[in-house]
Amino acid sequence: MPKTEISIRIPYADTDQMGMVYYANYLVYFERGRTEWLREHGLCYRDMEAQGLYFPVMDCSCKYHSPARYDDMVIVHTRLAQRGAASVTFSYEITGAGRLLVTGSTRHPLVDATFKPVRFPAELRASFDAAYEKENSDC
């Protein structure tokens, strides 16, 4: 199943006194993965904002499986897990040194400048639909 993958070397600033990654920093890695996913699929936050559309995080989950530490190289795997009429959900896996570190997801409604939920415009919906079909095909 195709997914977007980015590599991140864990900086010291992202760790606690024990040298392990802070929980909240995994959410930042999710954001980086999602931004790259959008770019890879020809989409961009700036373009949406120029149209008066915003894509905030409505809810998120993050589950630890194994610790990452300062200077580890990790890979953030991002894929579009669900798409609806007015929101999408991304899923994430963060791996490093051959082991699963973290899994999680984020859900994003599409809202206008007044923060009112709106349906995806046809062109944007088509882009998400095509990406979803590509990622979830058996080929």
Active site members? 16
The answer for residues whose C-beta is within 8 angstroms of residue 91's C-beta and 6 or more apart is: 78, 79, 81, 103, 104, 105
Residues 112, 52 contacting (CB under 8 angstroms): yes
* Strand segments (E) across the chain: 4-9, 53-54, 59-64, 73-83, 87-96, 99-109, 111-112
Rounded CA gap, 59 and 106, in Å?
A: 6
